[in-house]
């Protein structure tokens, strides 16, 4: 019975690796959006995204121009990350 348990464990581990691999392709690093929470523009469409941390939460913006808008009402934009 032990060989079957080892085989089953191997399959579970392999399935877990597949899920991680698929997640990497879908979103890369787990950030839930591909667009700026302020402007709606695609992240990366205006150069490298601006990455902020607000109360421990990572937020990505399309450009420097969106920083002031985000900081004026962060709660409004953080809702889009839920």
Interval 38-57: pLDDT, tens: 999 999 999 999 999 999 99
Based on the domain organization, do 39 and 11 belong to the same domain? no
What is the model's pLDDT at position 82? 82
Based on the domain organization, do 17 and 40 belong to the same domain? no
Number of helical H runs and strand E runs in the chain = 3, 2
Based on the domain organization, do 22 and 42 belong to the same domain? no
Least confident range of 7-11, 16-20, 21-25, 51-55: 21-25
pTM for this predicted structure: 0.64
Based on the domain organization, do 72 and 38 belong to the same domain? yes
Alpha carbon separation from 56 to 36, 45, 53 (Å, rounded): 18, 25, 6
Based on the domain organization, do 17 and 37 belong to the same domain? no
Mean pLDDT of the chain: 76
Q: For the chain, how many structural domains are there in total?
A: 2
């Amino acid at each position: 019975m032990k060989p079957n348990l080892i085989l089953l464990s191997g399959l579970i581990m392999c399935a877990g690796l597949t899920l991680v691999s698929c997640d990497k392709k879908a979103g890369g690093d787990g950030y839930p959006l591909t667009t700026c929470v302020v402007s709606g523009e695609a992240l990366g469409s205006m150069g490298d995204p601006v990455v902020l941390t607000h109360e421990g939460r990572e937020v990505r913006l399309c450009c420097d121009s969106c920083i002031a808008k985000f900081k004026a009402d962060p709660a409004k934009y953080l809702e889009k990350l839920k």
